[in-house]
Amino acid sequence: MPAPKLIEHPLVDCHLTVLRDKNTSSSEFRSAVNRLSTLLAYSATHDLQTTEKPIETPIQKMLGRQLLHRIGLVPILRAGIGMVEVMLDMIPTSEVWHLGLYRDEQTAEPVRYYSKLPEKAPVDVAFVLDPMLATGGSAVMACNALKKWGVPLIKMLSIISAPEGIQRLQEECPDVEIHTCQIDLMLNEDKFIVPGLGDAGDRIFNTTGQ
């Protein structure tokens, strides 16, 4: 099985520091998520296939390139929504399909409450978006749903990952590529990533005080 594709770059370290800081505001947190998602998008799209497209510049005719396949963005609700805008900026022709999953606090396992995948016409490549790959349960459930839909190539994009989540996803979905900015130490007894950044969804949507 392929090793996780880890983005090692000084800018990643700086933006991760902003994400981790408990004093970072929600707006600053979202901005850092956007910047790191841009770097993830660059990493995960490096092997997308293109085809020729005839165009005409103000000077002359030429052959450009355009994406060959249909691309699907699949954010895991709700934190994954924070990564969608950047991906759409990078790939404007992408389709966005949502999967709603929440973690059962008793079992730490995901429960699916929403799916908007059609029965036919799967995309050619799907990018599963979730800022945190913790236990791996939600990632596995999402990837299995996409496989059932018929998607031939799936890539998991997470800003921070735990070794336990990576191992589970690799064991249960060995053909799924993992792209991440950081692999942290471990999960704590509450199944949160250490040192992590807390609850990504709460910090993106400013609901930490709810």
Q: Could you count the other beta carbons within 10 Å of the beta carbon of residue 48?
A: 14
Q: Could you count the other beta carbons within 10 Å of the beta carbon of residue 45?
A: 17
Q: Which of 20, 70, 78, 199 is catalytic?
A: 199
User: Which residues are paired to 77 by β-bridges?
Assistant: 100
CA–CA gap between residue 136 and residue 110 (Å, rounded): 9
Is 35 a known active-site residue?
no
DSSP-derived 3-state class of residue 103: strand
Q: Could you count the other beta carbons within 10 Å of the beta carbon of residue 139?
A: 29
Is 124 a known active-site residue?
no
Q: Whose structure tokens read 């999967």?
A: 99
Is 13 a known active-site residue?
no
Is 104 a known active-site residue?
no
Q: Which of 50, 107, 207, 208 is catalytic?
A: 107
Q: Which of 20, 70, 103, 112 is catalytic?
A: 103
HSE value, Cβ hemisphere, 13 Å, CA-based, for 139: 33
Residues with a catalytic annotation lie at 103, 107, 199, 202
